[in-house]
Structure 1
Amino acid sequence: MRVPYAASGEYAVVPGKAPPRPGRGAVVRYLVEVERGLPFDPAEFAADVHRTLNDVRGWARFQRVDRGPVRVRVALSSPRLTIRQCLPLRTGGSLSCWNGTRSVINALRWAKGVPQYGGDLTAYRHYLISHEVGHGLGHHHRSCPGPGRLAPVMTQQSKSLNRCRPNPWPFPDRKPRESGETEDRRP
């Protein structure tokens, strides 16, 4: 898919709502935005975001809404809008960021991924969402704990794995309980 360097420069909120995963613990309200003019189906992007955020290996339980108040905005952005939204951070048009109000997801990375993920675009997309939303929940960058180990999700895996293995999840070892209830984790 060809991703334009620049689109409209304006976000549109993706209409729709989705409940949090079952379980206990805090619920984080969020909404999804897509820059107008990008070649992605906004509803499909929003569904991918919701699946990632509500996976039991994720940070918390997330409720998608289409109006505020929200704790997090997840915004699919052209490289040019990413550069503008991420200032003063320098993304070079290729990185994503948290800008204090939204997780700015670079559409080029969303479409192409990075070599470190060995062509597993789905896993890389989980990482992008988990990492940038993690910033919105107050988590900071972490280093690789050692060669061959899983990279913490807050490692800057888009830049390098530093001899770690790729990992898209905050809690990669968590599994659903037999009762269907999920872990109680507060962001």
Structure 2
Amino acid sequence: MQVSRGSAVAVAGGAAVAAVLGWIAIRPTEPRPVAAGSPAVRAPAVVPEPTRTQRVRTVNGRRQPPVVRAPESASGRYRTVPGGDPAPRGPGRTVRYLVEVERGLPFDPEEFAAAVHATLTDPRGWGERFQRVARGPVEIRVSLSSPALARSRCLPLDVGLSLSCWQHGRAVINADRWGSGAPSYGRDLATYREYVISHEVGHGLGHGHTTCPRRGAPAPVMVQQTKSLYGCRPNPWPHRTARIDR
């Protein structure tokens, strides 16, 4: 095919332009600023506000543990918390006990065991000398349990999925209550935890339920305070009661 000189020049010129454009297309370039609102602009990373479970709360002058929502059921098997804690010095009989936590619950077993021992050995407590051990023989087992396991372990008592109990040598602590407390204690989860340990272990020591003596009085620890205060004020201790604002 014949090509005229003018056509050849045009073709050559077009090839040169194409080559230049191709070089421009593949040359690394600096990113260009894009107008705000353009789809190419990424929104700045947003750091979420701390959730309720992450905030450090202070209620009644006490630093509160985080609220934790426990699952309705977990593995159904307990794990004994290893190690132990000595009985405090002083009068009173020694009570050997162990702590166990159902596998699969979102709680640290060692932290739970430490909270239990601090409550049982508090001067406002029952007065026995509690010694935590990792194996029997023991008088009491304190068992953190999912609501489903608590319901099973508490039979023939009917605790549903929301209550704790004393049954068959165990203070069965409902993990949902341990994680979120009870309306009777308001936002004071730390104090409610002391109450539920004191109350259920109190059953293990032979104490039965009692009633509110008069409106406005501190509730005896063996009142079923998780259900209601019955006109009393919340109180987690067998002795030396203290006012708690809800």
TM surpasses 0.5 = yes
Which residue is equivalent to 1:6? 73
- Does residue 133 of the first structure (1) align with residue 206 of the second (2)? no
What's 1:40 paired with?
107
Q: How much does 1:101 deviate?
A: 1.0
RMSD: 1.1
Percent identity at matched positions? Answer: 64
After superposition, where does 1:24-35 map in structure 2 within 5 Å? Answer: 24-35=91-102
Inter-partner Cα distance in structure 1 for 2:186 and 2:99: 27
Q: Is the 8 A contact 2:218 2:241 kept in 1?
A: no
Q: Which has the larger radius of gyration?
A: 2
* 1:5 partner amino acid: E
Q: 5+ residue gaps in structure 2?
A: 1-67
Match of 2:82 in 1: 15
Q: Does 1:50 align with 2:117?
A: yes
Distance 2:225 2:182 in 1: 9
Contact 1:100 1:136 in 2 (8 A): no
Distance across 2 between alignment mates of 1:2 and 1:127: 19
Structure 1 match to 2:16? none
Aligned residues: 174
The TM-score with structure 2 as length reference comes to 0.69
CA deviation vs aligned residue, 1:34-93 (integer Å, no higher than 9, x gap): 000000000000000000000011112100000001110000000000010001111111
Superposition deviation, residue 149 in structure 1: 0.2
Q: Counterpart amino acid of 1:49?
A: V
Q: Distance in 1 between matches of 2:175 and 2:69?
A: 10
How big is the shift at 1:21? 1.8
Return the match for 1:78 from 135, 146, 171.
Answer: 146
> Aligned equivalents of 2:92 and 2:176: distance in 1?
34
Q: Which runs of 4+ in 1 moved over 6 A?
A: none
Q: TM-score, normalised by structure 1?
A: 0.91
Higher relative contact order (CA 8 A, sep 6+): 1
Partner of 1:152: 220
**Deviation digits for residues 12-38 of structure 1 (CA, Å, limit 9, x no counterpart):** 100011011221121110000000000
Give the AA of the match of 1:27.
T
